[in-house]
Structure 1
Amino acid sequence: MKPVTIGIAGWTLPRADAELFPPAAFGSNLARYAEVFDAVEINSSFYRPHKPETYARWAESVPAGFRFAVKLPRTVTHEKRLQDIEPDLDRFVAEAGALGAKLGWVLVQTPPSLRFDPAAAEALFAALRARLDATAESSASASHAGPVLACEARHGSWFGGEATALMRSMGVTRVVADPPAGEPGPFAATCAGAAYVRLHGSPLIYRSIYEPERLAQVAAWLRGQQGRALVIFDNTMSGTQVRQALQLREMLTSSPS
């Protein structure tokens, strides 16, 4: 995979950007999207389960190098609040694991009201990692590394020293979110070799457009990172997410001024 992979939350293709993708006769919206971008974030998994057959069909409709980021269900984080979640994790991994080697990231997003509980967080990350690794090892597509685990916490207690140390020791990537909900101070990375950036739109979440100056700042930050990074444009209500993602990609491929 490329050091910086850029994608969008979902593969809805804005009508105004139709000419940027292959024509409808090419195939599904996902297949058309995957001709332009190398990754996509699935948020619908947060709200409802998808059958393994659905994930497998999605995997079959994209090129070999394409990767999916899949959001953990809200039953785990928001409803059960990390308690008694083993059956939910079993179901999620059995479903999303059908993506095989194309499952690149699993995103854990906790609610703003959920405080950091070290025992619960460690149990979640360990259980999720064990299941994902087992699925990767048993994949018919030969052995491959399990997906990156990323966490977007939104309560200030998840940004303290204890939480940072735990995430570092367990190899969990702290999401760089804009706006940074719950983050009380400067961003502290937890994985030197991986970054997961979610651009929600700021100041109006999901709606705000990122001006070229702001995208240039994002590009400069990415150039200074080591290892692999994923950037997801989640400002989908702005209707500009496709062109902004392509603009950032162009900035990264051109020489910095």
Structure 2
Amino acid sequence: MIGTVEKRVRIGTSGWSYPRGEGRWNGIFYPAKPKNELELYSQVFNAVEVNSTFYRLLDPQTARTWVMMTPKDFAFAIKLWQKFTHPGMFKKATGAEPEVTQADYDDFKRGINPIAEECKLACLLIQFSEWFACTPQHQGILSMLLRQFQDYPVAVELRHASWGEKASETKALLDSCGAGLAYIDMPELPGTIRQELEPQRLLYLRFHGRNREKWRTHEAAEERYDYLYSEEELKPFAEKVRGITAAGESKILIFFNNHVRGQAPANALMMARQIGLPPTATVRAEFVKAFPATKDAIKEIHIPEEKEAGQGVLFSA
């Protein structure tokens, strides 16, 4: 069973670099001044969801650098550019009109192709907002994106309740291009989708946290993701994942987006233990102190020598 889970499941976090602010990882998951966060991150997890590609096109050389600094079996889930999925946000951020051209698609593909060419692309994530309802116009937008990226593995995150209410239509649309529907755990609010975790060829789980109070009303965007899942909250998902891996051929990707103060890596490690992955990570003593529930999910606690304190050391050799 452990071998089956290890082969089919990848677990990580949404993003790996949170160096500033109240929600920073530095000094908790990383040293206070880490030299290379991605390299350190990839010593703990075998996959990451890339958030930066939502805000800007990925430079191919940056992609090549990521490939080189991560282990051979490491994989990236790449979030689609906001110009494709959130035109209002794109215009507000850039001041430019969000008219999408074929050149935009080509430029996005050019940026991620160094990752795909090295077989390190887990999938693309097409994420829509909770206000993106299942209308003929929006179905057309989704269909166009699926056709554009049909040569890549794709998962689609749909948050509006109407996509679940028209589940058969949604499934048919995704199936037509071999895409998977992302399962999301977030606060249950009026108008948000209701889902059942079911087997599919590409099963993509995103844990946003359950901070209902701050989800739609907050001063800083990170406030909505300030949430730590308990062992009991994770157990039902772990049980489902174990059952799905035992029964079928699903490829399963699990990412935690509740990133504030290192809560995402803590919950990712807790989930890995619950679904049966053997502990392999060596983490900082400060991290285990902040998240005692991770103790059984790690292999070793690293307490750096005093002389190492300023050298960006995270893990023992």
Range into which the TM-score falls when normalised by the shorter chain: 0.7 to 0.9
The answer to whether the 8 A contact 2:161-2:194 is kept is: no
Q: How does 1:1-257 map to 2 (within 5 A)?
A: 2-12=7-17, 13-18=25-30, 28-79=36-87, 84-99=100-115, 100=117, 101-116=119-134, 117-129=138-150, 133=151, 146=152, 148-159=153-164, 160=166, 161-179=168-186, 182-187=191-196, 189=198, 192-204=200-212, 205-225=224-244, 226=248, 227-253=250-276
My pick for the range that moved more, 56-65 or 9-18, is 9-18
Mapped to 2, the partners of 1:172 and 1:178 lie a distance apart of 19
Aligned partner of 1:114: which letter? F
By how many angstroms is 1:84 displaced?
4.0
Describe the SS at the equivalent of 2:156. strand
Describe the SS at the equivalent of 2:11. strand
Mapped to 2, the partners of 1:170 and 1:69 lie a distance apart of 18
Mapped to 1, the partners of 2:132 and 2:106 lie a distance apart of 22
Question: For residues 215 and 79 of structure 1, do their structure 2 counterparts lie closer, same or farther at Cα, with a shift above 3 Å needed?
Answer: same
TM-score (norm 1): 0.81
Mapped to 1, the partners of 2:101 and 2:243 lie a distance apart of 37
Mapped to 2, the partners of 1:228 and 1:153 lie a distance apart of 19
TM-score (norm 2): 0.67
Mapped to 1, the partners of 2:125 and 2:64 lie a distance apart of 19
Q: Which runs of 5+ in 2 are unaligned?
A: 1-5, 18-24, 91-97, 213-223, 279-317
Question: For residues 90 and 158 of structure 1, do their structure 2 counterparts lie closer, same or farther at Cα, with a shift above 3 Å needed?
Answer: farther
Mapped to 1, the partners of 2:26 and 2:129 lie a distance apart of 29
Report the count of equivalent residues. Answer: 233
Aligned partner of 2:74: which letter? F
Mapped to 1, the partners of 2:154 and 2:262 lie a distance apart of 29
By how many angstroms is 1:58 displaced?
0.5
Q: Which has the larger radius of gyration?
A: 2
Q: Cα deviation per residue 1:69-104 (whole Å; 9 max; x = unaligned)?
A: 110011011117997443322111110112121111
By how many angstroms is 1:238 displaced?
4.5
Higher relative contact order (CA 8 A, sep 6+): 2
CA RMSD for the aligned pairs?
2.6
Q: Which runs of 5+ in 1 are unaligned?
A: 134-145
Mapped to 2, the partners of 1:183 and 1:83 lie a distance apart of 28
The answer to whether the 8 A contact 1:158-1:164 is kept is: no
Question: For residues 73 and 240 of structure 1, do their structure 2 counterparts lie closer, same or farther at Cα, with a shift above 3 Å needed?
Answer: same
Aligned partner of 2:120: which letter? K
Matched-pair identity in %:
29
The answer to whether the 8 A contact 1:76-1:85 is kept is: no
